[in-house]
Structure 1
């Protein structure tokens, strides 16, 4: 997996990186490395939540969205954002979780509970991008 972009704005303490992961493990590894580059690392609990959000967003993009067009991470003094774009125009849907483990249904509600904010936005050339925001 190749990092395609890195933006650093020291005045605003903004760091942004973009990748195109092919599986969730790559995305988690990229996110962990991104967090190591932050001037002020977030608390361990935020790190764990962020890695879970990254994993779920990428897995959902791969499983339901036809792949991952891009994954971006942005951090500033106040928050960390995870943005995952996929080619599907379909928005995630709440559904009854399958307790047998066959069809899932746990990821989207979990994302909504763990993140401070989640939004789905149409994207030109991407179809949609899902952004999850965590306060630092």
Structure 2
């Protein structure tokens, strides 16, 4: 765990932060790679940080990553960047893409084919926010990895 000194010279405990990222091109070849990165990253979190990440949570995160990367590939004209971060047993999945248009979930319609990605991500995540950036947008999703809010727990 990282440590730093406070103003009085005492030690402050700073939660360790784990991070992984993947640059994505627009040809769609990285969707499977993004899913594998998410699973490997959560496995590393489980083993190095001792966070009890259950299999159901890994599968949920892989689905969220897949939906975000698929949407970026489909709607953004250029590159994208996937970033995964864990702090305090919460995973932040961040996807930046070059399209400034903000996504909007459509009303539920069981007869609609496709365009359910944002509905799925919203249902599975603890929170979802979308913000514009100087070039494009950033979608940020939080998933609880351990505790009462984690998949398969509670």
Question: Could you tell me the TM-score, scaled by structure 1's length?
Answer: 0.81
1:65 pairs with 76, 99, 102, which one? 76
Matched, 1:19 2:35: no
- Shift of the 68–59 alpha-carbon distance from structure 1 to 2, 3 Å rule, reads farther
After superposition, what is the alpha-carbon deviation per residue over 1:87-127, rounded to whole angstroms, capped at 9, x for unaligned? 001111222557363xx1211111111100000011233x1
Report if the CA contact (8 A) 2:130-2:140 is conserved.
yes
Cα distance in structure 1, aligned partners of 2:76 and 2:110: 20
Asked whether 1:48 is paired with 2:47, we answer: no
| Structure 1 residue 128 corresponds to structure 2 residue 137 | yes
Are 1:83 and 2:117 counterparts?
no
Contact 1:68 1:84 in 2 (8 A): no
Question: Aligned residue for 2:8?
Answer: none
For structure 1, the 5+ residue unaligned runs are 1-7
Per the alignment, do residues 92 and 55 of structure 1 end up closer, same or farther by CA in structure 2, a change over 3 Å counting?
Answer: same
Cα deviation for residue 78 of structure 1 reads: 2.8
Taking structure 1 as reference, are residues 21 and 58 closer, same or farther at Cα in structure 2, changes over 3 Å only? same
Query: C-alpha separation between the residues in 2 aligned to 1:25 and 1:13?
Result: 28
1:37 aligns to what SS in structure 2? helix
Tell me how many residue pairs correspond in the alignment.
126
Residue ranges of structure 2 left out of the alignment (5+ in a row): 4-13, 146-154
